[in-house]
């Protein structure tokens, strides 16, 4: 069962308590609610207290990072007292940068001539693409948060490396492993040999052939050679940006590449916390989880990371906190048309009547049931509040802020 994080009156972390104990303390007025998500209480009078070792365990992923806080009790052993799953927004960042690049290239190349530039950027050692750096930054942000709200004494990380060659061809070995698919070919000649110098869709031969993306780039397709084929002009136009459904393309490796790129950057950031950092392999995590007969989940994988995950107790009804990264808004002020030219500008103000988009509020309209949700402001007294199962419009006078927006949505 998910426990409640506890702080003393000086905001020093204490051991998480059972929800029933937290309700009792709230009823007696001995504590106050410090945060709604994750639910944290603060003691009004008590200072300090005995704490047991707590280990924060991480299972980094491309889309989702599992987190588990494992307490080491003297009698009960290692018990998961808090868990969460952090959903990253790397794909959203990547799409925004791709759209910006497309608009910029259109303006510079087709509408006015500008000499091409290259090699005019110097990147620091250890540079990561913004969509990858986001994964490291958000994970470290939650490491710092949980260290403030719980007595974390050590960290465990799954330091996994995906072999992209073996993922595509498990039987690959020897010199073929080192050469790759394009050894001895140019891309076009390789595709001609691979597809028999015919259109992949209508089998037409002896016609001009064009290089075609099987899974369209506009829908996330890559430029990997496994995603390229040959098509005649008519088939290429007829297909457009329609997906083939994975019939001809191999499994994408974007997620595996993202984990490979960020694993060492995250490890170095964790080492800088001066805590003891334990690392484990993906195979070891799977072995610990399967031996204890736990189901597959990101937070359960996090609890089973490393040697410390060999014996971990989980409550059968434990539900993790779902954390979705949403960001703090956009820096882009201009609204663009499909050609990349401004057609309007967004207001510079980020708040209105004391509210900002992303604040967690309680809505209590006179003729409706009160509920808690996330507010989206408008620059008029009519806001949108999104709850678990409903979305309504409300005047700000019926709203009460429970927690300021911090760039995440919780469930």
Share of the chain above pLDDT 90, in %: 39
Q: What is the mean pLDDT of residues 47-54?
A: 88
- Report the C-alpha gap between 370 and 387 in whole angstroms: 10
- Residue 348 CB partners (closer than 8 Å, separation 6+): 333
Which of 164 and 268 is assigned the larger pLDDT? 268
Lowest mean pLDDT among 241-245, 283-287, 404-408: 241-245
Q: What is the pLDDT of residue 272?
A: 93
pLDDT digit string, tens, across residues 111-150: 667 776 777 778 888 889 999 999 999 999 999 999 999 9
SS3 277: strand
**At CA 229, angle to CA 226 and CA 234, rounded to 5?**
155
Could you tell me the CA-to-CA distances from 317 to 2, 19, 190, 286 in Å, in that order? 9, 14, 54, 21
Mean pLDDT of the chain: 85
CATH of 52-90+126-162+263-325, one of 3.30.420.10, 3.90.650.10, 3.10.50.30, 3.40.50.11720: 3.30.420.10
175-252: which CATH topology? DNA Binding (I), subunit A (1.10.30)
Give the C-alpha separation, 334 to 341, whole Å: 9
pLDDT at 246 over 50: no
pLDDT digits (tens, 9 = 90+) for 310-344: 999 998 889 999 999 998 888 888 888 877 788 88
Which of 100-104, 190-194, 250-254 shows the lowest per-residue confidence on average (mean pLDDT)? 250-254
pTM to 2 decimal places: 0.80
Q: Give pLDDT tens digits for 57-78.
A: 999 988 999 999 999 988 889 9
Q: What pLDDT is stored for residue 315 in this prediction?
A: 87
d(CA 11, CA 41) in angstroms, rounded, equals 10
The confidence score (pLDDT) of residue 191 equals: 80
Could you report the per-residue pLDDT of 343-352, keeping only the tens digit for each? 888 888 888 8
pLDDT digits (tens, 9 = 90+) for 203-231: 888 888 888 888 888 777 777 777 888 88
pLDDT > 90? residue 370:
no
pLDDT tens for each residue of 296-313: 999 999 999 999 999 999
- pLDDT-derived band at 244, boundaries 50, 70, 90: low
Lowest mean pLDDT segment, chosen from 26-30, 136-140, 157-161, 358-362: 157-161
Average pLDDT of the segment spanning 92-121: 80
Q: Please state the domain extents for the chain.
A: 52-90+126-162+263-325, 175-252, 348-411
Residues 6+ apart with CB under 8 A from 322: 84, 85, 87, 410, 411
**H-helix or E-strand spanning residue 21:** helix 19-28
Apex CA 248: angle with CA 244 and CA 249, to 5°? 95
Does the structure show a pLDDT above 50 at 249?
no
Please report the pLDDT score of residue 163 as a whole number. 57
Look at residue 379 and tell me whether its pLDDT is greater than 50: yes
Which DSSP symbol is given to 294? P
* CA dist., res. 224 & res. 373, Å (int): 42
Residue of 84, 56, 83 lying closest to 152 (CA atoms): 56
Architecture of the domain delimited by 348-411? Roll (2.30)
Q: Band of the pLDDT at 192, cuts 50, 70, 90?
A: confident
* pLDDT band per the 50, 70, 90 thresholds, residue 101: confident
């Amino acid at each position: 069962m998910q426990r409640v994080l506890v702080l003393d009156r000086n905001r020093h972390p204490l051991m998480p308590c059972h929800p029933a104990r937290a309700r009792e303390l709230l009823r007696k007025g001995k504590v106050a609610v410090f945060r709604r998500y994750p639910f944290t209480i603060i003691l009004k009078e008590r200072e300090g207290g005995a704490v047991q070792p707590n280990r924060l365990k991480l299972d980094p992923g491309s889309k989702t990072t599992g987190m588990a806080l494992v307490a080491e009790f003297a009698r009960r052993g290692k018990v998961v007292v808090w868990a969460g799953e952090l959903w990253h927004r790397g794909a959203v960042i990547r799409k925004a940068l791709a759209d910006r690049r497309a608009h910029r290239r259109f303006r510079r190349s087709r509408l006015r001539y500008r000499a091409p530039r290259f090699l005019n950027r110097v990147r620091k050692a250890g540079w990561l693409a913004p969509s990858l750096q986001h994964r490291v930054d958000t994970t470290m942000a939650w490491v710092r948060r949980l260290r403030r709200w719980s007595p974390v004494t050590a960290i465990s990380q799954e330091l996994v490396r995906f072999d992209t060659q073996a993922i595509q061809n498990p039987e690959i070995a020897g010199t073929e492993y080192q050469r790759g698919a394009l050894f001895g070919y140019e891309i076009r000649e390789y595709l001609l040999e691979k597809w028999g110098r015919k259109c992949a869709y209508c089998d037409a031969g002896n016609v001009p052939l064009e290089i075609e993306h099987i899974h369209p780039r506009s829908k996330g397709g890559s430029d990997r050679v496994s995603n390229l084929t040959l098509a005649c002009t008519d088939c290429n136009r007829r297909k457009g940006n329609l997906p083939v459904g994975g019939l001809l393309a191999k499994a994408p490796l974007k997620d595996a590449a993202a984990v490979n790129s960020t694993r060492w950057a995250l490890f170095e950031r964790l080492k800088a916390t001066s805590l003891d950092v334990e690392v484990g392999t993906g195979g070891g995590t799977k072995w610990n989880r399967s031996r204890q007969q736990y189901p597959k989940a990101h937070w359960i994988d996090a609890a089973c990371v490393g040697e410390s995950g060999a014996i971990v107790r989980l409550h059968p009804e434990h539900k993790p906190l779902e954390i979705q990264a949403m960001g703090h808004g956009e820096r882009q002020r201009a609204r663009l048309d499909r050609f990349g030219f401004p057609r309007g500008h967004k207001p510079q103000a980020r708040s209105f009547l004391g509210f900002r988009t992303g604040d967690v509020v309680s809505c209590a309209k006179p003729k409706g049931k009160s509920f808690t949700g996330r507010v989206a402001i408008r620059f008029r007294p009519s806001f949108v509040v999104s709850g678990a199962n409903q979305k309504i419009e409300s005047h700000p006078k019926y709203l009460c802020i429970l927690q300021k927006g911090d760039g995440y949505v919780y469930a």
